[in-house]
Amino acid sequence: MAEKDPVIISGAGPVAMVFALALYRQGVPFIALEMLDEPFVDQRAASHHPPTVAMLDELGLAEHILDEGLKSPVYRFHDRVTHDVIAEFDLGELRDEVEYPFVLQYEQYKIVRKILELHGDKPGFDVRFSHTVTGFTQADDHVDVAVDFPDGTSGTIRGSYVVGCDGGRSPIRKAADIEFVGFTYPEKFIKIGTYHDFMADDDRIAVRNYFSDPGEWCNLFKVNGEPPKPPIWRFVVPMRIDETEEEAKSEAGMQARLKRFFPREADYDIAYANVYTVSQCVAKSFNAGRALLAGDSAHLNNPIGGMGLNGGIHDAMNLASKLGPIWKGEASPNLLDRYTRQRHKASTEFTQAQTIANKKQLEEKDPVKRAARLDEMRRTGADKEAAKAYMRRAQLIDSVKAAAAIA
């Protein structure tokens, strides 16, 4: 019967795999189609906020990743100009409100790897690599997803619904003709990974750090990387608008950037470097008939605050909780409109607003406005209740609650 066709998932990244696992645990069949030959080792997102860790726990993943990741309750804002710590926030202050009062530093590719390790060989956990989704057509009771197969042929796979977890250039969003509303920053960002231990040099450095500077702000985060190699520190800074990727990723260019922030005579031991374009966009709708969007296909934002992956996982869990009962005939498809209302609000009023504000906080050039922003951050960090309120918003705790309240 048509209603028993599987759910087709375009993509096999972290959002897709969390969504697939959430369906699998409900007994809902799926087929995940990934254009790459194997899971992508993507060094972008790594920070999982408290509500996200709780969601991963719902899926039985937390027990497998908590010891592999790096628990970070404390993060700090620094003034690079004066070398002062402006404010410190400790998620431990929310221990009575959240089950996991810390951020878990655990790279997004490890989520994919862990889910496939635990479930990839189980009957019904159907993930197909080297399958490129190019579009879809939909009827009243099913979708036909267009696919380029590994043998070079093309065809379609029939499904009950298709869910685009396939990135900012999502072929599912484009085929559904859903407008992507927003803008792209003129400057690109570069992320440099180094094995150098910054905490050993400076006790002002925490596991997660934000450095404000009118010329060149910085995010600095620690992850465990790939033991037995040492942990990696991720250094994220904006590039000059006229700077080429080749120039930014040159050995001389990377060493100069690192040494401008953290001077030393010896060169840094660099693990990797990535350059990427940064946008602030949200899809006008997250559903169109039997087509749905989650993760980067639905929203893109700058990485300051680590909200993109978290928002995507929140999408996946929200959507699975609705699509599972719909597929089983236990709920109305109208629930999918509620999915859009809930997650669109979370994306626009929380993730987009907060990440845009985070960037403005770090890059402010006007000396008067910059001083005012730093003073406000000092006051927030020094006031226990204000600090709690800030953390609830910054860690997407408020976002989850606000979305759930929408009918």
Looking at residue 3, its pLDDT comes to: 54
Q: What tokens were used for 22?
A: 């959430």
| Angstrom distances, CA of residue 118 to CA of 113, 146, 197, 285, 309 | 9, 29, 32, 33, 21
Q: In the block, which residue shows the tokens 């001077």?
A: 263
Looking at residue 168, its pLDDT comes to: 95
Q: What tokens were used for 144?
A: 């036909």
Looking at residue 44, its pLDDT comes to: 78
| Angstrom distances, CA of residue 282 to CA of 173, 316, 387 | 11, 16, 28
Q: What is the pLDDT of residues 50-96, one digit of tens each?
A: 999 999 999 999 999 999 999 999 999 999 999 999 999 999 999 99
Q: Enumerate the domain spans of the chain.
A: 2-184+279-404, 189-212+223-276
As a residue count, the chain comes to 407
Sign of the Cα torsion 55, 57, 60, 62 reads positive
Q: What is the pLDDT of residues 101-139, one digit of tens each?
A: 999 999 999 999 999 999 999 999 999 999 999 999 999
Which letter, b or e, does each residue of 48-84 get, where b requires 16 or more Cβ atoms within 10 Å of its Cβ? Answer: bbbbbbbbbeebebbeebbeebbbbbebbbbbbeeee
Looking at residue 109, its pLDDT comes to: 94
Looking at residue 293, its pLDDT comes to: 98
Domain covering 2-184+279-404: architecture: 3-Layer(bba) Sandwich (3.50)
Distance of alpha carbon 202 from the chain centroid = 29
| Angstrom distances, CA of residue 197 to CA of 68, 193, 200, 235 | 19, 11, 6, 12
Q: What is the pLDDT of residues 159-213, one digit of tens each?
A: 999 999 999 999 999 999 999 999 999 999 999 999 999 999 899 999 999 999 9
Strands (E), 195-265: 208-212, 218-223, 232-238
Q: Is residue 82 within 8 Å of 21, Cβ to Cβ?
A: no
Q: What is the pLDDT of residues 380-404, one digit of tens each?
A: 999 999 999 999 999 999 999 999 9
Q: What is the pLDDT of residues 323-375, one digit of tens each?
A: 999 999 999 999 999 999 999 999 999 999 999 999 999 999 999 999 999 99
Q: What tokens were used for 143?
A: 């979708």
CB-based contacts of 125, cutoff 8 Å, min separation 6: 20, 24, 119
The mean pLDDT value of the chain amounts to 96
Looking at residue 1, its pLDDT comes to: 38
Q: What is the pLDDT of residues 235-285, one digit of tens each?
A: 999 999 999 999 999 999 999 999 999 999 999 999 999 999 999 999 999
CA dist 15 and 4 (Å) reads 23
